[in-house]
Structure formats: structure tokens, C-alpha cells
Amino acid sequence: MDTSFNRPIRVLIAKAGLDGHDRGAKVIATSLRDAGMEVIYTGLRQTPEMIVNTALQEDVDAIGISILSGAHMTVFPKIMQLIKEKQMDDVLVTGGGIIPASDMSALNELGVGKLFAPGTNTKDIATYITGWVQQNRNF
Amino acid sequence: MQIKTTSGIEIKEVYTEPKNLSELPGEFPYTRGIQKDMYRGKMWTMRQYAGFSTAEESNRRYHYLLSQGTTGLSVAFDLPTQIGYDSDDPMSEGEVGKVGVAIDSLQDMELLFDGIDLQKVSTSMTINSTAAILLAMYIAVAKKQGADIKLISGTIQNDILKEYAARGTYIYPPKPSMRLITDIFEYCSKEVPKWNTISISGYHIREAGSTAVQELAFTLANGKAYLKAAIEKGLDINVFAKRLSFFFNCHNNFFEEIAKFRAARRMWANITKELGATDPSAQKLRFHTQTGGSTLTAQQPLNNIIRVTNQALAAVLGGTQSLHTNGYDEALSLPTEAAARIALRTQQIIAFESGAADTVDPLAGSYFVEALTDEVEAAAWQYIEKIDAMGGAVNAIELGYIQEEIAAASYDYQKEVESEERKIVGLNSYGDKEEINPETFRVNDSIRKMQMEKIASLKSSRNNVYLREALNDLERTAKAGENVMPAVLNCVESYATVGEISNLLRKVFGEYSTV
């Protein structure tokens, strides 16, 4: 844990849409916990509204969305819109799954953070979240 | 140096103990295969899982696959169809036609099989909590084609227990779900006797991160739960157990996978026998194999062709009845047509060029393979005993035991990969500086709109009097505990949608939730 933080980073890991592939989400949740973060895992079939509401209630620093069903171009833009409406622009929205590279860049342009492909080292994800939070969140 | 399989079985430097083999293929307990002649009598079915976007688009892919030598169809449905939502349901947004074909009503099913003779082709459908509906639609299309439904053949996955444990497309709680499954067993044994009423699946348990031994153990434990549920309903194991089939994964550890398949047959023969099966067909474990999706890497995707080849060969040496080989680009998207073609060609090369199919159970008697078969079996029995002690698989799933075991194994595996204790070529070793991003397959987002228009026009043209009667009758039979299949068939023939039928059953049965 970085000593510049006076509390653990809080992360919401969410499975969006109808996709039931939760291996990645669970592995990421466990690995972020091992990296010292507080992780809330939503379970399956979360709508964008449910995810953003949970993020707000739990006062998280980052939201990680796992999606392998191809619904990413629907789910991420909706989440970004809700985040703006609720003035949660200081929360990181990141994620991963089966997302083609061109879609990743389109989503980055909407303000979505880094998106991770299958095979990513979980330490890289922890490092990315920590770095982002350090730069963008007030502690 | 200590070397272990993915299941933690220690591998010796050399094996020296011969095994006294008196057992022949086609004889109890079927370790060596369920037929005397195996692939000499009948080549495995080359069954490529496919389906995307609309019924019309998928129908074109099926005609193409059949023209290329595929010998059985395997239908992938989109998630709304699998979870009982119509395309116009708010829950379906972004999901319509994505991981499979969108089916809202019998109309779509008619388009899906247009020009395909259902009495001649065998069709496997990956459908679980809505299996009764999709099977009813298949029967309805076959009837319309003039087929004798006593002769149509195929498989529905219909394995709800692994949905709770690993795959996630459940709708109702376990009890009514098990009842729907046994209703299907009973109905099919009388009306559609050649239909495989369940495909008890280890595939998704493995994809969720289990080891080979866990895949085997949890699948057979689920199988045991289905046997017991059907026996409790009063069904004859010598009748219904003949129509049970299995679906396994095949990952990279070549010999452990072969051992797993051989052990699976032997174990299932003993499990069924213990529960009263005396007919050999009710004791035989028939299985489909798919190569391991989670073993594919997004990095250096062409390497996946080699992985798929090894896995497919292991499945054949393990005696599979049918096989799906993955496309090399599936860590990136659904397979492109080029990738799907190479996947099928891989099977054809193994079948017709490698010689692997020329004799039955070619690895029998290998010191190593026989020892490993015994070890995999022993380790799997340990899990099954533990699950039995919890009261069986349904309880073990409700307690979260199986889910926790899988999650722990998948995390251990991830740590091994990240520490480079386990080498994955192109991923944590032998990386290329330049990544080639192959062309990926895309499903158009306008499909939902097309399906919504179809639903709207259907709803304004169908006979609402028949429809209401059919739905009322289903509600009555569901509540009364009668077999729901005739009523479901009646509903789909009245063009009730998947969502309408599922919502009605949600009202009667309730919904399952993990939270």
C-alpha cells in the first residue's frame, strides 16, 4: 500500500448486462484485495443504473466493469452518462473483457479509462488504478 | 524436480507399473470407450457451435457449415433468449444477437431452420433455463416440416446446476428448475425418444477456472443429482438415463485430459449402476467435447490453432462422440468465417490424416496413461464423497462450496501464470514486440431494432384468443405440478414469445438471486 494514502482505495467490480462469465471479475476482485484495496463485487446482471448507484452509495474511487458478451458499446456510454449526471466525474471507470481494440479507443474518447484485454497481468491493473487515484482523487 | 498437472497430480519421471487390462471397449465400465469399434464404426460428429445476430443470418451460417462437411448443428442463442427476455425487454439492451442468435418466437425458429431437414440433421442447442421453450419450438418446426418427431435427434443442454455454479444463465430457483428438467426427461422419453434431454456440462465449470479433476467431479456430482431427481419423480433409470449426455472441456495438459475422459466413463458406469441402471446404454457416458476457450490467448492469436489441435487430438484419443474446435480468434471476438473454417479443417485432418481414429483407445496399457487415469479418478471420487456428505450437488451449490472451489482454483492458476511458474507462450513468455491485430467479427447493433419490429408485427397478427388460452393452461399446469411440456408446446405454437412464457413462469416459480 502506498503511504501517500490515508485509507485504502475503494473499488467497485461489476458484471454488467446479462453476461455470466465472472471468472475474470472474481480474479480481479481478489487480486485488488491482495493489493490492499477495498473491493465490492456486485455479482451478475447489473444494469448501468444499479452500478452507478452502488458506486455512489459506497463512495468508491474506481469502477471496474467486466463484460464479455459484446454489450460494451451500450453499457459503457450509459455508465458515463449517469456518472456525469450524478457529478461523479472524479470516479475512474475502467474495465475489461472481450472488447476489440477499435471499440476500446472509441470508449476512451468518451472518458472511459484504460480497458484491459484477456491475458492482462492483474498487477498492471492494480498499478493503473493506484496511479489514477493518486493523480485524480483527493485523499 | 517436481512436476504437477493442473489438478495438482504429481507426475513421475518414468512409469514402470504395467496394468493388467482385462477390460474391452464397449464393456462395463467402459474405460476404453462406449463402443466396441469406436471411430471405425462411426466417426465422431464434427459439431461447430455457431449462431449470431438474426435467425436469417445464422441460417446462412448453418447452410455454409453443412456444405463444408460439418455433420451436426450446434445452436448458440443470445443471452436474452437464454435468460427468458424478449428482444424488446429493457434488460436486453446491448445484448440482442451478440453471443448467439436472437429467438423471440416460433417465427424466428422457423427462419433459423429454413431449408434444413430436421429429420436428417442432429441439432444441439445450448439452452438451459429456457430449454423447455426452445425444445418445444424445435419440435413445432419439425412438425411443420412433416418430420416424424419420434425420429428427430439432437441435444438440449438443460443443465441448470452448472448455471448456478459457473455459467450464470439461471432464472428460477433450484427446485422448480429441477422440476422443469425432469418434466423434459419424462416428456421426451415418450414423445421424442431419440432426443438427448440433457448435456451435463463440465465445460463451463472448467472455463470458470476449475482444474481437470474438479471439472470431472463437479460434473458427475451434478449428473448424480439429476439421476436422483428423476428417480424421485418415479422415472425408470433404464429409460431416461439412456438419453443423458455429457459435455466436457479439453485444455492443454494432453495426458491429463485423456485420463479425465477415460476416468469419466468408468465413474459414470459405476454411479448409474449403483442407482439401479442395468441396461448398458443407461450406464454409458456419451460426451461432446469443446476445446478450451479460456486457453486461447489474445496475444499471437495464430498460436491458438496449435493449442486447438493438441486439445482436439486429446479429445479424440479420449474417445469423444462429438467435437467442437474453437476459432483461433475467439479471445478477441466471435470467430470470423476464416477462423471457423480452420477449426473445422483441424478436425478433418485429425480424422482423416493422423491415423488417431484407426484403432480403439490407442493409449490403453500405457504405464503413464493408465496410472494417470486411476489418479484422476481417485481424486475426483474424493470430491464427490465430500459433495455427497453435504447432501448432493444442489446443496453444495446452495452452500457456495462448488463456486468457492472453482474461484480458488482460478485464482491459483492466475498467480501461477503471473509468477511465470506456468509458461503460456506469447503471453508471459516468448512475447512478440509487434502484435498483429487480426480482423475481428462484429455483430451489428441494429439487430435489436429488427427483432423489435418483428415482435410488434407478430403481436398484432397472432390469434389472441388461442394465445390467452394456451398461457392460462400453462399457468395452471405449472401450479398444479403437472408436466408442463404439452402446455409449453401449445404456447409456442400459439406464437407466445420466449419472454411471455418465461415471465409467466417467473410469476409461478419466483426468481433465483445470489444476493
Per-residue model confidence as pLDDT tens digits over B283-301: 999 999 999 999 999 999 9
Residues in chain A within 8 Å Cβ distance of B208: 21-23
Helices (H) and strands (E) in chain A, counts: 5, 5
**What integer pLDDT is reported at residue B444 of this predicted model?**
81
CA distances from A56 to A113, A114, B131, B509 (A): 18, 21, 38, 33
**What integer pLDDT is reported at residue A6 of this predicted model?**
86
Nearest CA in chain A to B99: A69
**What integer pLDDT is reported at residue A138 of this predicted model?**
76
Torsion of CA B183, B186, B190, B195, to 10 degrees: 80
Flag whether pLDDT at B435 surpasses 70. no
Residues of A with CB under 8 A from a CB of B: 17-23, 26-27, 30-31, 43-45, 47, 69-75, 98, 100-101, 117-119, 121-123
Give B 59-88 residues with CB within 8 A of chain A. Answer: 79-80, 82-83, 85
Nearest CA in chain B to A71: B94
How would residue B45 be classed by pLDDT, with cut points 50, 70 and 90? very high
Percent with pLDDT over 70 in chain B: 99
Residues in chain B within 8 Å Cβ distance of A31: 411, 414
CA distances from B231 to A98, A132, B160, B176, B389 (A): 42, 58, 18, 16, 20
Q: Which residues pair with B3 in a beta bridge?
A: B11
- Selected residue of B85, B95, B206, B297 to mutate for chain A interface (largest A Cβ count, 10 A): B95
Of B51 and B362, more confident: B362
**What integer pLDDT is reported at residue B318 of this predicted model?**
98
Provide the residue-wise pLDDT of chain A in tens; the chain has 139 residues: 555 678 999 999 999 999 999 999 999 999 999 999 999 999 999 999 999 999 999 999 999 999 999 999 999 999 999 999 999 999 999 999 999 899 999 999 999 999 999 889 999 999 999 999 999 987 6
Question: Which tens digits make up the pLDDT trace of B127-159?
Answer: 999 999 999 999 999 999 999 999 999 999 999
Instruction: Note the pTM of the prediction, 2 decimals.
Output: 0.95
- Grid cell 449426455 is found at B245
- Name residue B370's amino acid: E
The CB-side HSE value for A29 (13 A sphere, CA atoms) comes to 19
Distance (Å, whole) CA B321 – CA B326: 17
**What integer pLDDT is reported at residue A5 of this predicted model?**
78
Cβ contact, residue pair A69, B418, below 8 Å: no
Flag whether pLDDT at B252 surpasses 90. yes
Nearest CA in chain A to B439: A100
Averaged pLDDT, B77-92: 97
Cell of B104: 423471440
Distance (Å, whole) CA A122 – CA A27: 8
Q: Strand, helix or coil at B333? A: coil
Would you put residue B198 in left (φ > 0), alpha (ψ -120 to 50) or beta? beta
How would residue B48 be classed by pLDDT, with cut points 50, 70 and 90? confident
Cβ contact, residue pair B298, A119, below 8 Å: yes
Set out the domains of chain A in order of their start, with CATH numbers: 8-134 (3.40.50.280)
Residues in chain A within 8 Å Cβ distance of B416: none
Question: Which tens digits make up the pLDDT trace of B267-281?
Answer: 999 999 999 999 999
Question: Which tens digits make up the pLDDT trace of B333-390?
Answer: 889 989 999 999 999 999 999 999 999 999 999 999 999 999 999 999 999 999 999 9
How does strand B3-4 pair with strand B10-11? Answer: antiparallel
CB-closest option in A17, A98, A121 to B94: A17
Q: Strand, helix or coil at B249? A: strand
Residues in chain B within 8 Å Cβ distance of A100: 332-333, 440, 442
**What integer pLDDT is reported at residue B337 of this predicted model?**
87
Interface predicted TM-score (ipTM) of this complex, two decimals: 0.91
Flag whether pLDDT at B515 surpasses 90. no
How would residue B436 be classed by pLDDT, with cut points 50, 70 and 90? low
- Specify the long-range contacts of residues A83-91, CB closer than 8 Å, at least 24 apart: A83/A52, A86/A52, A86/A56, A88/A52, A88/A55, A88/A56, A90/A136, A90/A137, A90/A138, A91/A55, A91/A60, A91/A61, A91/A62, A91/A63
**What integer pLDDT is reported at residue B171 of this predicted model?**
98
Q: Chain B closest CA to A30's CA: distance in Å?
A: 8
**Residues 6+ away with beta carbon under 8 Å from B11:** B3, B4, B5, B372
How would residue B439 be classed by pLDDT, with cut points 50, 70 and 90? confident
**What integer pLDDT is reported at residue B41 of this predicted model?**
95
